[in-house]
Structure 1
Amino acid sequence: MPFDAMSDVSDEALLVLYANGDRAAARALTVRLTPRVLGYATRVLADAAEAEDVAQEAMLRLWRIAPEWRQGEAKVSTWLYRVVANLCTDRLRRRRSAPLEEAEEPVDEARDAARQMQDAARARALSDALASLPERQREAVVLRHLEGMSNPEIAEVMDVSVEAVESLTARGKRALAARLAAQKDALGYEDD
């Protein structure tokens, strides 16, 4: 099947096609899923290089499991998010025992300096605030509000009940709001 014709094919069907040797299906699934899991890992880890490693490892695991994939048992995207979440958790746990080196943020030359500074300050404040949350709250907030997943999807990824997801996201949002409230004016938010 040509690559262009695969935009309407489900993730599960693409994985089965890949398992049967269809390279175009693998490419379509990679193009579809990699940016999503990379973005998720980047927000959780706040480190682009580590996030790339995690996304790559998660996709490799997906390719390895393809021949045994049983359609109807789980969504490919949910399975993949769960793998990414576990890989991120492992890396965050390893970080606790080793000091982190600060990396410079890449600069977008297309915007003016003041806007770049404000955007960088906002991103840093959000990243710092997210990092201050307990792991499970951070994971739930990122999946819900940055990845746009539904509570039932998050519950499946995190292996908790929907009620637990609701509690984790509510507590996480309250903690973020409290942490960021004092920085509202400094970050250029007036009535936002």
Structure 2
Amino acid sequence: MEDLTSYPNEAHGSFSAVPELSDEELLGRFADGNAVAARLLTGRLGPRSYSVALRMLGNQAEAEDVTQEAMMRLWKMAPDWVPGQAQISTWLYRVTLNLCLDMRRRNRPDALENVAEPEDESANVVDRIQDTERKDALQAALDQLPDRQRQAVVLRHIEELSNPEIAGIMDISVEAVESLTARGKRSLAALLAGRRDELGYEHG
């Protein structure tokens, strides 16, 4: 199969301009041998998997590996997918999170690598440096959270999923999601509190 995994360079909507086709319909067409359906579904779901993996791992190369593995598992299970049993995006988020946990267990502790971010050419050098430091500080703080708190915070405040969606992905109650998110936010605030002046945050 051709390589369809250039996730970091694809916007969420790059290949998804066919709203009449659901994720399930695209997966079904792929299972029937339609390569275009695979390309469309990759463009729709691949960036979401990559975004979560990048924040969970703080390492671009590892996030790409996780995303490729998650998508490969999706293709392998496509012929056995039972329509209506769950949302494909929910399944993919769950697989992505589990792969991230496996990789962290294998590779940590190690040095946190910088997260590659597109540069804003309109920003001056000082602003760009400060913006990079803020992103790195957030990533470093996320990396110190317990796994479940980090998952909930990433899905809620970075991926902007609803609490019921997160509950389905993490296989916990909505109340548990709310608790994990609240604790995670408090922990992040505490971890970042001492660097507010250094990073140029406004005092609130």
Structure-1-length-normalised TM-score: 0.91
> Is structure 2 residue 85 aligned with structure 1 residue 100?
no
Structure 2 segments unaligned to the other structure (5+ residues): 1-14
Matched, 1:17 2:29: yes
Native 8 Å contact 2:54 2:60 kept in 1: yes
Q: Which SS does the other structure have where 2:172 is aligned? A: coil
Whether 1:183 aligns to 2:195 is yes
Structure 1 segments unaligned to the other structure (5+ residues): none
Alignment of 1:129-144 (within 5 A): 129-144=141-156
Runs (4+) of structure 1 moved beyond 4 Å? 104-107
Tell me by how many angstroms 1:109 deviates: 7.3
Mean Cα deviation higher: 104-113 or 114-123: 104-113
CA contact (8 A) 2:90 2:165 kept: yes
CA distance in 2, matches of 1:41, 1:17: 27
Does the 8 A contact of 2:58 with 2:113 survive in 1? no
Q: Which of 103, 124, 129 pairs up with 1:117?
A: 129
1:175 is aligned with what amino acid?
S
> Sequence identity, in percent?
56
One-letter code aligned to 2:189: A
SS of the residue aligned with 1:77?
helix
CA distance in 2, matches of 1:13, 1:151: 26
Q: Can you list the C-alpha shifts for 1:61-113, whole angstroms capped at 9, x where unaligned?
A: 000000011111100000000000000000111123xx524545558372321
Q: How many residues matched?
A: 188
Matches within 5 A, 1:159-178: 159-178=171-190
How far does residue 6 in structure 1 lie from its aligned partner after superposition?
Answer: 2.9
Structure 1: how far apart are the matches of 2:17 and 2:166?
Answer: 30
Q: Please give the per-residue CA displacement for 1:10-36, whole angstroms capped at 9, x wherever unaligned.
A: 111111111111211111101111111
Per the TM alignment, residue 150 of structure 1 is displaced from its structure 2 partner at its CA by 1.1
TM-score, normalising length: structure 2: 0.86
Distance 1:188 1:64, change over 3 A: same
The answer as to whether partners of 2:29 and 2:37 remain within 8 angstroms in 1 is yes
- The answer on 1:145 being equivalent to 2:129 is no
- Identify which of 88, 112, 119 aligns with 2:100: 88
